[in-house]
């Protein structure tokens, strides 16, 4: 498994959790970071009713800068301007040179240096708790600045994107949850089989009356906007469109012309490569990559960015060359959902992220999270995956379906990147 981010790392490395278990009968104590199980090569140790973890395994797992000096058995760790210093068997630690007294000092056991978990976690701004029901330690890293894209689509009075975001019925806008969203992905466009840009599709993607008010409110609350062009390969229509140079040129010109009202374009081309033989999949991949590259070039001339919303690489849809698309796009949203079980399986979401990272740098990737079937607890875990892998951010499907407790989790775990 890839390494965790710096902040999460040091959070894991040192925390003290009050337990009431005898030292002689040490159980296997699971450590969870942002809802994800941390696997260590040496199990934690309970000493004086405190949990200690091995320095090296924790440091390597979360990619933090931690140093051990054997000559005097001292330990130092750094994170964003904070320096922690400890010494084996000493109850005096230092945070930025200021002394702090520990309940339990770092120890050496079987040749391994072990450190108290809670102290480091709280020193670096993490929240640490002991889950008595599961006999586990849970660590939550501080809120991380990330890009947060919210898909804005037509709903109804009960699932209104406007009301969910702005806190009031349309057309009254207030701050609502706008502080938690960086970009609105506006689901208002599609393409017909002739390559024409349309604003009223059979799939329900349409541009509403009063759309100008959404753009005005987005600007007022410092959110970027992007026009989403949503198409599906139903009946092979999208595959055929992408294979026709004349039709793709028309589509690219139409999209670029409309994009002048937005900060970016979001292509949501779904269903490519389903059940195609390998040779056909390769052609579909090439055609879509060519389309994306040509569109990106045309948009770039007008300082408009390109986002691609893609099926995950571990899905049944194989019409997406992540490497080529990653070169063309400014960002890629991984739709790591619709695997079947709800909430979405953590192992499959993690696998999707790792596969994408083999082809695309983390600075271009956003983890797509669907509110459908997720809970406020499980959404915390999905955000934790994005944080662990240092992704650019997260994308939420969709505004209108995000419940109050989910918004609370988002606000506590992420700081929406604002420009």
Distance in angstroms (rounded) separating the CA atoms of residues 176 and 161: 12
Cα angle vertex 384, ends 379, 389, to 5°? 135
- Residue 200 is classified by DSSP as B
In the chain the domains, ranked by start, together with CATH numbers, are 6-140 (3.30.457.10), 144-416 (3.20.20.80)
Both structure tokens of 98:
């200021």
Q: Using alpha carbons, select from 147, 186, 192 the residue that is nearest to residue 367.
A: 147
Question: How far is CA 293 from its chain centroid?
Answer: 25
Both structure tokens of 256:
């670029």
- Residue 304 is classified by DSSP as -
Q: Pseudo-torsion of CA 412, 155, 314, 189, nearest 10°?
A: -120
Question: How far is CA 57 from its chain centroid?
Answer: 25
The pLDDT value recorded for residue 64 is 67
- Residue 397 is classified by DSSP as E
Which distant-in-sequence residues (6+ apart) come within 8 Å of 225 by Cβ? 183, 184, 186, 214, 215, 218, 261, 262, 263, 264
Strand order of the sheet with strand 65-69? Answer: 65-69, 74-79, 82-87, 92-95, 98-101
Distance in angstroms (rounded) separating the CA atoms of residues 414 and 419: 16
The pLDDT value recorded for residue 25 is 38
Distance in angstroms (rounded) separating the CA atoms of residues 417 and 146: 5
Residue owning tokens 């081309």: 269
- Rounded to whole angstroms, what are the CA distances from 400 to 136, 156, 182, 313, 406? 35, 9, 16, 27, 12
201 φ/ψ angles, rounded to the nearest 5 degrees? -105, 160
- DSSP, collapsed to helix, strand or coil, labels residue 76 as strand
Q: Pseudo-torsion of CA 289, 294, 296, 301, nearest 10°?
A: 170
Question: Is the Cβ–Cβ distance between 119 and 14 less than 8 Å?
Answer: yes
- Residue 43 is classified by DSSP as -
Cα dihedral sign for 150, 154, 155, 157?
A: positive
The pLDDT value recorded for residue 227 is 98
- Rounded to whole angstroms, what are the CA distances from 385 to 136, 237, 347, 352, 381? 19, 35, 10, 11, 6
Q: Pseudo-torsion of CA 341, 346, 352, 357, nearest 10°?
A: 170
The pLDDT value recorded for residue 135 is 82
Question: Is the Cβ–Cβ distance between 361 and 389 less than 8 Å?
Answer: no
Residue owning tokens 């020193």: 123
Question: Is the Cβ–Cβ distance between 348 and 339 less than 8 Å?
Answer: yes
Both structure tokens of 56:
């090296």
Question: Is the Cβ–Cβ distance between 119 and 6 less than 8 Å?
Answer: no
Distance in angstroms (rounded) separating the CA atoms of residues 28 and 45: 9
Question: Is the Cβ–Cβ distance between 107 and 89 less than 8 Å?
Answer: yes
Which distant-in-sequence residues (6+ apart) come within 8 Å of 72 by Cβ? 87
The pLDDT value recorded for residue 22 is 35
Beta bridge partners of 92: 101
Beta bridge partners of 268: 230
Residues of the chain with pLDDT under 70: 1-27, 41, 56-64
pTM, entire model: 0.89
């Amino acid at each position: 498994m890839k390494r965790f981010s710096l902040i999460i790392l040091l959070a894991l490395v040192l925390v003290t959790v009050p337990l009431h278990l005898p030292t002689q009968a040490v159980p296997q104590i699971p450590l969870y970071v942002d809802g994800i199980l941390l696997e260590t090569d040496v199990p934690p140790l309970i000493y004086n009713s405190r949990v200690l973890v091995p320095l090296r395994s924790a440091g390597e797992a979360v990619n933090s800068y931690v140093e051990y000096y054997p000559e005097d058995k001292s330990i130092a760790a750094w994170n964003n301007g904070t320096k922690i210093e400890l010494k084996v068997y000493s109850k005096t630690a230092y945070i930025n040179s200021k002394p702090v007294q520990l309940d339990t000092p770092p120890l050496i056991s079987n040749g391994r240096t072990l450190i108290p978990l809670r102290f480091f976690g709280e020193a670096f701004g993490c929240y640490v708790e002991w889950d008595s029901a599961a006999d586990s330690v849970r660590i939550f890293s501080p809120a991380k600045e990330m890009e947060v894209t919210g898909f804005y689509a037509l709903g109804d009075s009960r699932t209104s994107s406007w009301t969910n975001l702005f806190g009031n019925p349309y057309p009254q806008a207030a701050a609502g949850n706008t502080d938690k969203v960086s970009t609105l992905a506006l689901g208002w466009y599609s393409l017909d089989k002739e390559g024409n840009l349309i604003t009223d599709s059979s799939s329900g993607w349409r541009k509403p009356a009063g759309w100008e008010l959404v753009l005005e409110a987005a600007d007022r609350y410092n959110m970027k906007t992007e026009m989403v062009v949503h198409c599906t390969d139903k009946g092979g229509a999208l595959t055929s469109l992408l294979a026709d140079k004349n039709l793709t040129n028309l589509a690219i010109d139409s999209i670029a012309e409309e994009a002048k009202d937005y900060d970016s374009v979001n292509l949501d081309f779904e269903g490519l490569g389903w059940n195609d033989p390998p040779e056909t999949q390769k052609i579909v991949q090439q055609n879509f990559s060519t389309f994306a590259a040509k569109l990106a070039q045309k948009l770039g001339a007008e300082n408009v960015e390109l986002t691609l919303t893609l099926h995950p690489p571990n899905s049944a849809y194989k019409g997406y060359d992540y490497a080529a698309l990653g070169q063309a796009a400014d960002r890629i949203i991984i739709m790591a959902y619709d695997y079947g079980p709800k909430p979405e399986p953590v192992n499959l979401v993690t696998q999707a992220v790792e596969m994408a990272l083999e082809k695309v740098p983390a600075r271009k990737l956003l983890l797509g999270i669907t509110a459908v079937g997720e809970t406020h607890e499980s959404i915390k875990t999905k955000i934790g995956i994005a944080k662990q892998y240092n992704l650019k951010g997260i994308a939420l499907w969709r505004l209108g379906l995000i419940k109050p407790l989910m918004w609370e989790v988002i606000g506590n775990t992420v700081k929406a990147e604002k420009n």
